[in-house]
C-alpha cells in the first residue's frame, strides 16, 4: 500500500487508514483482530480512533490487540479528544486544556501505550480561546505523550488561525513552536464542503489531509439503493441518525452515477468512491465492520479512474460556490 508524507511533517501514513468507530460496540475484539490482520497484510499501518468512540471501548479494544496482533511500533496510532466520553463531567464538547490533557491520559491508559503518533482536537469549541487549546497540544508534545498534533472537523478560518498561531509558537510555551501537521474532516462524493475553504487552507499551510467517511457513511457502497439491510448502520438504533442525512433523493442520484461508473469499470461502487477521494487527500479513513468488507475496499488501491469518469463525477457532485470562495460577483 502506498504511503505518503503527512503535510510537511516527518510522519508517513498509508493512503487508506483503518477507522475503529464501531470497535468495542458493533465490532467485538475477535472481529477487530481479523480486520486488523487483513489490513496489516495489505500493507496498511494507520489506526484511527477517538476517546469518544463507543465511550472509550474502541481504544480499549485496540489496546488489547497492541502487542498481540501487532507490535506498537509497527502502526501509526491516531486518537482524538474534545468530545467528552459518556458519563464524563462537563459539557459535551470541551477543547479546554484540562479536559484535553485528562482525555489524553485516559486514552493512553485504554490503549496501553505511553504515546500517540498523532493526536487531534476532534471538534471546534468556540467557547475556549484557541491559545488555550494550542497550549494543551504543546504540553502533550513536549511531554513525549504525543508525536504530532492536528485538528478535526474545524472550519477553514479556525484551521488557518490555529495553524498560524501554532507555527508562531503562540500556545504559551517558551520552547518554540509546535506546528499542526494535519486536518481531518468528512469528505466524499456526498460531502465536498471542505473544498470551499478547508482544503485550500490545508494546501497553503502544508497540512496533511485525512478524510473520514469517504464512502458517504456507507451510502456510496450502494447497499441502500433498494432497501435498508438489517445488518447495516442505517438499521442500527445508535447509528441510524448518522446515516439518514444521506438517504435522500439528491444523494441517490450521486449513488446511481457512481454505480454506473462502477459497472462500466467492472468494479464496485465503493472502489470508485475511494479511488476518487484518494487523489484529493493524503489518506482516507475507512471503517469496515467485517474482513470481507475490508477486502472489497482494498480493491480500490488498484483502480485508477479514467479522466472522463472523474469529470462526470465532479460535475454531478460539485459543491455550490459563492462569494467569496468563487471571487467577487460581477457588477450589474
CA dihedral 299, 11, 18, 70 (to 10 degrees): 100
Helix (H) or strand (E) holding 47: strand 46-48
Q: Which three cell numbers stand for residue 319?
A: 459543491
Asked if residue 159 lies in contact with residue 134, where contact means CB atoms within 8 angstroms, the answer is no
Is pLDDT at 285 greater than 90 in this prediction?
A: yes
- Tell me what percent of the residues of the chain surpass a pLDDT of 70: 90
What digits encode the pLDDT tens for the residues 57-94? 999 999 999 999 999 999 999 999 999 776 555 568 99
Statement: residue 305 has pLDDT above 90: yes
CA angle 271, 122, 275 (to 5 degrees): 10
Burial class of residue 98, CB neighbours in 10 A (0-12, 13-18, 19+): exposed
pLDDT confidence bin for 266, thresholds 50/70/90:
very high
Question: Mean pLDDT across the chain, nearest whole number?
Answer: 91
Write out pLDDT tens, residues 112-156. Answer: 999 999 999 999 999 999 999 999 999 999 999 999 999 999 999
Alpha helices (H) along the chain: 29-41, 57-65, 97-111, 130-142, 156-167, 198-205, 240-243, 249-265, 269-278, 291-298, 307-317
Give the mean pLDDT of 240-247: 78
pLDDT digits (tens, 9 = 90+) for 197-210: 999 999 999 999 99
| CB neighbour class for 86 (10 Å; exposed up to 12, middle 13-18, buried from 19) | exposed
DSSP 8-class letter at 84: P
Q: If we measure between CA atoms, which residue out of 304, 280, 298 comes closest to residue 16?
A: 298
Query: Binning pLDDT at 50, 70 and 90, where does residue 222 land?
Result: very high
CB 271 within 8 A of CB 297: yes
Q: So what's the pLDDT on residue 229?
A: 56
What is residue 242's predicted lDDT score, i.e. its pLDDT?
74
Please tell me the predicted confidence (pLDDT) of residue 147: 98
pLDDT value at residue 235? 45
Q: How far is CA 49 from CA 111, 120, 317, 322, in A?
A: 10, 10, 29, 35
Say yes or no to pLDDT of 329 above 70: no
Identify the pLDDT of residue 174. Answer: 46
Mean pLDDT of 24-45: 96
Q: How many residues are given for the chain?
A: 332
Contact 45, 285 (CB under 8 A): no
The arithmetic mean of pLDDT across residues 208-230, rounded, is 85
Give pLDDT, residue 232: 55
pLDDT at 298: 96
Greatest Cα pair distance, the chain, in angstroms, is: 68
DSSP character for 194? G
Domains of the chain: 3-218+277-303 (3.20.20.100)
Query: How deeply is 332 buried, as exposed, middle or buried, from its count of CB atoms within 10 A (0-12, 13-18, 19+)?
Result: exposed
How far, in Å, CA of 18 to CA of 204, rounded?
27
Q: What value does the mean pLDDT take over residues 233-251?
A: 72
- Report d(CA 319, CA 194) in Å as an integer: 9
Give CA–CA dist 280/189, Å, rounded.
11
* Tally of CB atoms within 10 A around 321: 11
Contact 191, 16 (CB under 8 A): no
The confidence score (pLDDT) of residue 243 equals: 79
The pLDDT of residue 32? 97
On the question of pLDDT at 330 being above 90, the answer is no
| pLDDT confidence tier of residue 254, bands split at 50, 70 and 90 | very high
Mean per-residue pLDDT, 21-40: 95
Are 224 and 247 in contact by the 8 Å Cβ rule? The answer is yes
Amino acid at each position: 500500500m502506498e504511503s505518503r508524507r503527512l503535510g510537511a511533517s516527518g510522519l508517513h501514513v498509508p493512503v487508506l487508514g483503518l477507522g475503529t468507530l464501531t470497535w468495542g460496540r458493533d465490532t467485538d475484539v475477535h472481529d477487530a483482530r481479523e480486520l486488523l490482520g487483513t489490513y496489516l497484510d495489505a500493507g496498511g499501518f494507520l489506526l484511527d480512533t477517538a476517546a469518544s468512540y463507543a465511550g472509550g471501548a474502541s481504544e480499549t479494544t485496540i489496546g488489547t490487540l497492541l502487542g498481540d496482533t501487532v507490535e506498537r511500533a509497527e502502526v501509526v496510532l491516531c486518537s482524538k479528544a474534545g468530545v467528552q466520553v459518556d458519563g464524563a463531567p462537563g459539557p459535551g464538547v470541551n477543547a479546554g486544556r484540562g479536559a484535553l490533557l485528562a482525555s489524553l491520559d485516559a486514552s493512553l491508559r485504554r490503549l496501553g501505550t505511553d504515546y500517540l503518533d498523532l493526536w487531534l482536537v476532534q471538534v471546534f469549541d468556540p467557547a475556549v480561546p484557541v491559545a488555550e487549546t494550542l497550549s494543551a497540544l504543546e504540553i502533550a508534545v513536549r511531554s513525549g505523550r504525543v508525536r504530532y498534533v492536528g485538528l478535526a472537523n474545524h472550519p477553514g478560518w479556525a484551521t488557518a488561525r490555529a495553524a498560524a498561531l501554532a507555527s508562531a509558537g503562540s500556545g504559551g510555551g517558551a520552547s518554540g513552536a509546535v506546528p499542526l501537521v494535519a486536518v481531518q474532516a468528512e469528505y466524499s462524493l456526498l460531502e465536498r464542503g471542505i473544498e470551499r475553504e478547508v482544503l485550500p487552507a490545508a494546501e497553503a499551510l502544508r497540512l496533511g489531509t485525512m478524510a473520514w467517511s469517504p464512502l458517504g457513511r456507507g451510502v456510496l457502497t450502494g447497499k441502500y439503493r433498494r432497501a435498508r439491510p438489517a445488518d447495516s448502520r442505517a438499521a442500527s438504533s445508535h447509528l441510524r441518525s448518522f446515516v439518514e442525512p444521506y438517504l435522500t433523493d439528491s444523494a441517490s442520484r450521486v449513488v446511481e452515477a457512481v454505480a454506473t461508473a462502477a459497472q462500466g469499470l467492472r468494479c464496485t461502487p465503493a472502489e470508485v468512491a475511494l479511488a476518487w477521494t484518494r487523489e484529493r487527500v493524503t489518506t482516507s479513513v475507512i471503517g469496515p465492520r467485517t474482513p470481507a468488507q475490508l477486502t472489497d475496499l482494498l480493491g480500490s488501491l488498484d483502480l485508477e479512474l479514467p479522466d472522463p469518469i472523474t469529470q462526470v463525477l465532479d460535475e454531478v457532485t460539485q459543491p455550490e460556490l459563492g462569494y467569496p470562495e468563487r471571487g467577487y460577483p460581477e457588477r450589474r
